[in-house]
Every structure is written in C-alpha cells, then in structure tokens.
C-alpha cells in the first residue's frame, strides 16, 4: 500500500495511540500514592521531548499538505475548515495571553502546540472518514490498548499495591479516564457512522471490564451515565448538558469574576470544607485567593503560565503542606480562570458553544457529559494531548462530519 495513503487512513490511529500513552509506557511497579494526581502522565506527555515535537509537527505538516491538494474531499473541506477555525480561535486567545504572561515564551510555545494538535486531530479524522477507515482505526486502538495492559499485567506491573489496574500507565485514574474515553469514542463513532462490527462490541465490553478493575470511580460513573443518557431524546440530552454547563461555568467562573468586580467576592471554596472532594476545598480556596491577591481574575496569568513553569505558585509554596506538590487546579473551569481570567474564559466557552450549535447527534451531545463533569474534579479542558481533551476535539469535529454525511445520504435517497 502506498505510504501516503496508509498515513491518510491510519494517521488518526497514530494520534490516538499517542494520547493513550502507548508510546511512553510505564512497566515499573505502581505506587498508589501517585493516584493523587491525574496529571502524572499528562505532565510527562507535556514535557518538551524531541519525539513529541517531531511527531506532531510531522502529522500537522503531512495532513495540512494532503488536505489542501486533495480535491476528492471538497465536500468535507468547508465544515472541517469551519471547525478548525473555531478551535484555532480558542488557540489564538491562548496565544494572545502571552502578551501579559510572566512566561510569554512558555505561553506561546504551548499555544502553538495546541494549534498543531487541534488541526492534526481534525484533519486526521477527516481523512479517516473519507477512506472509510474509522472502524479499522478503532480496532487498532482497542487491540493495542488491550495488548499493552496485558503486557503490564504479565510483567507484574499492571496493578498497584491496592490491586487497582493502572496497566501500562503510572496512575489508575489516568488508566480509568483513558479507558472510559476510548469506550465512548468507539461507541459514538460506531453508532453515528453506521459501523456494524460484532468484534468491536465484544471488545468494548472487555474494555469496560478493565475499567472496573481500575476502580476509578469517577470514570466508571461517567461511562455509565453516558450509556444511560443515550436512551433519552436529543432534546432532553441537550437540556441536561446545557444546564450543567451553565451551572458549573457560573459557579466556578462567572460568579467569582462578577462578584469580585462588585466588591463582594464569592466563590465555592468559601462554602465547602477544606477536605471537600479529597482536599479540593483547600486547593480551590488557595487558588481563588491567589487570583484576587494578585488582581489576576480579569485576564488571568496567561496560557500555561501558572502550573508547570518550574516555579511553585506563591500561595502553594508551603513546605509544610501538600499544596506544594499540586500540579493542577483539580478543576478545569478554575484552571481556565487562572490562565485566561473571566474575560478570556467567557470567550472560550462561547466558541465551544458555537462549535456544537448545529449538531443534531444525540451520541455526541451525550458524550459531552464527560468533559462537563470530569472537569469539576480534574483539569483537562484545553490541556495538552490527554484523552479527555482529545474526546472534546473529536466530538466537535465529528459533529461536523456527521452533518455532511447526513446531507449526502439525504441527496442519495432523494435521487432514488
């Protein structure tokens, strides 16, 4: 098979395997203490290693070139360009934030990576749909993931000391969310793009069994909620996802931002105990305090300029507290507020809403429940190349491709 065609068909699989952590497996003995941080593997992925840079620059350049010279996908081009422009607009906000960041080079570098990442995923999915290789990509990802988990178990490194499955990753929570997202992506693509595969159906059941072995309660519950929601009507699903999006955005972003400017600062950490959600109460309280103490709540610190810059934030720099080890806000909404302030975060949410306005697929809308709820306790929105952020991109782009496929079907039926 021609190498170029092979890459067009299976480039999405290569990207999916990167986000699943297959290229950087950990077959060492697992320590359950590391499960405190979902970001253990995410931070590893975010490091400036040569492989990561070469990989994403290559897939971006390859798919961009093939996209512009290929005239056979002209029907897909308008909707794909539309989705990419929305995602790039979000990345542009991140790039713009470098202007007031204390670490402008870091902000610019991480924003540019997001442009490469978002564009590559969108184009990879476009070509996968064009070549009708989505099913093969799914099978490849599922099989390789199961093989990697099996290898970890065989080597005696698959479970931590509490017998929770971490597989080939360092954390059982990371393994949990990866499995949950893989299950949901597979299911929504199978249902949306008319893929009839008994093999995939059996494998999804096996993946769910592995998910249970991780004992990652959040991931298990979210996966179950998805499968319950798909039995509702599209209207009810849209109401549920819209309601919780507005509620969480208001609680964690809008109310703190507006109340601060009205000189009556209110935020959720004032009303919960320090040990709320296993210590998240004290984390959130420190971060909301930080935003007002340094007057950064309006525009934030800049993209990627709060955590992961080599310096412990001032309010967390306590040698007698576990806060010094915190590497994320443990809340995606709050982390966006830290980076972009209330102004930038409002714009980002506006673009996310615009990206799903025309979508009429209940599976994609049901899958949104994962990033909406998962980011209450973890930070995965607009965060490097992890599976939860990959899911968000896939939902946005797939919704556009689904519209095109429906238009093609309707024209075909009208001719008949």
Please give the Cα distance from 399 to 233 (Å, whole number).
Answer: 17
329 assigned to some structural domain: no
| Bridge partners, 159 (sequence order) | 165
308 assigned to some structural domain: no
Predicted confidence at residue 278, as pLDDT, reads 83
Segment 185-202 mean pLDDT: 93
169 assigned to some structural domain: yes
Q: Which of 82-86, 246-250, 289-293, 310-314 has the lowest mean pLDDT?
A: 310-314
Predicted confidence at residue 39, as pLDDT, reads 44
Classified as helix, coil or strand, 159 is strand
- Domain hosting residue 8, numbered range: 3-240+344-415
Predicted confidence at residue 377, as pLDDT, reads 92
Average pLDDT over the chain reads: 91
Taken in order 342, 333, 15, 230, the sign of the CA dihedral is negative
Q: Greater confidence, 44 or 383?
A: 383
Structure tokens at 288: 């909301």
Classified as helix, coil or strand, 297 is coil
Among candidate residues 38, 228, 18, 24, the one with its CA nearest the CA of residue 121: 18
Q: Quick check: 77 and 83 in contact, CB under 8 A?
A: no
Segment 92-119 mean pLDDT: 96
316 assigned to some structural domain: no
Counted domains in the chain: 1
288 assigned to some structural domain: no
53 assigned to some structural domain: yes
280 assigned to some structural domain: no
Q: What percent of the chain has pLDDT over 90?
A: 78
46-105 confidence digits (pLDDT tens):
444 788 989 999 999 999 999 999 999 999 999 999 999 999 999 999 999 999 999 999
Please give the Cα distance from 398 to 186 (Å, whole number).
Answer: 12
332 assigned to some structural domain: no
Predicted confidence at residue 32, as pLDDT, reads 53
324-367 confidence digits (pLDDT tens):
888 899 999 999 999 999 999 999 999 999 898 888 999 999 99
Classified as helix, coil or strand, 253 is helix
How sure is the predictor about 240, in pLDDT bands with cuts at 50, 70 and 90?
Answer: very high
């Amino acid at each position: 098979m021609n190498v170029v065609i092979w890459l067009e068909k299976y480039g999405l699989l290569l990207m999916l395997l990167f986000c699943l952590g297959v290229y950087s497996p950990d077959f060492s003995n697992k320590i359950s203490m590391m499960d405190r941080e979902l970001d253990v593997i995410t931070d590893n992925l975010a490091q400036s290693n040569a492989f990561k840079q070469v990989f994403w620059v290559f897939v971006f350049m390859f798919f961009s070139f093939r996209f512009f010279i290929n005239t056979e996908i002209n029907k897909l081009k308008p909707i794909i360009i539309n989705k990419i422009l929305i995602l790039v607009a979000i990345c542009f906000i991140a790039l713009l934030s470098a202007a007031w960041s204390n670490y402008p080079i870091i902000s610019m570098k991480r924003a540019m990576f997001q442009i490469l990442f978002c564009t590559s995923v969108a184009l990879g999915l476009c070509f996968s749909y064009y070549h009708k290789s989505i099913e093969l990509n799914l099978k490849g990802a599922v099989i390789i993931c199961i093989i990697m988990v099996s290898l970890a178990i065989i080597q005696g490194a698959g479970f931590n000391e509490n017998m929770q499955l971490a597989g080939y990753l360092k954390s059982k929570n990371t393994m949990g969310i990866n499995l949950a997202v893989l299950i949901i992506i597979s299911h929504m693509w199978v249902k949306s793009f008319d893929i009839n595969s008994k093999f995939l159906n059996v494998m999804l059941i096996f993946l769910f069994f592995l998910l249970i072995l991780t004992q990652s309660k959040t991931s298990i519950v979210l996966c179950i909620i998805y499968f319950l929601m798909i039995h509702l009507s599209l209207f009810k699903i849209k109401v549920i996802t819209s309601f919780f999006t507005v509620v969480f955005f208001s609680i964690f972003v809008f109310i703190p931002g507006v109340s601060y400017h009205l000189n009556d600062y209110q935020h959720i950490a004032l009303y919960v105990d320090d040990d709320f959600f296993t210590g998240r109460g004290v984390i959130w309280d420190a971060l909301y305090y930080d935003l007002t103490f340094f007057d950064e709540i309006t525009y934030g610190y800049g993209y990627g300029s709060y955590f992961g810059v080599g310096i412990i934030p001032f309010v967390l720099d306590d040698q007698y507290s576990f806060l010094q080890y915190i590497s994320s806000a443990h809340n995606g909404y709050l982390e966006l507020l830290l980076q972009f302030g209330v102004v930038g975060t409002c714009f980002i949410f506006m673009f996310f809403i615009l990206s799903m306005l025309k979508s009429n697929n209940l599976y994609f809308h049901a899958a949104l429940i994962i990033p909406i709820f998962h980011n209450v306790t973890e930070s995965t929105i607009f965060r490097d190349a992890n599976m939860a952020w990959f899911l968000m991109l896939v939902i946005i782009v797939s919704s556009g491709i689904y519209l095109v496929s429906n238009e093609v079907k309707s024209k075909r039926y009208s001719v008949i």
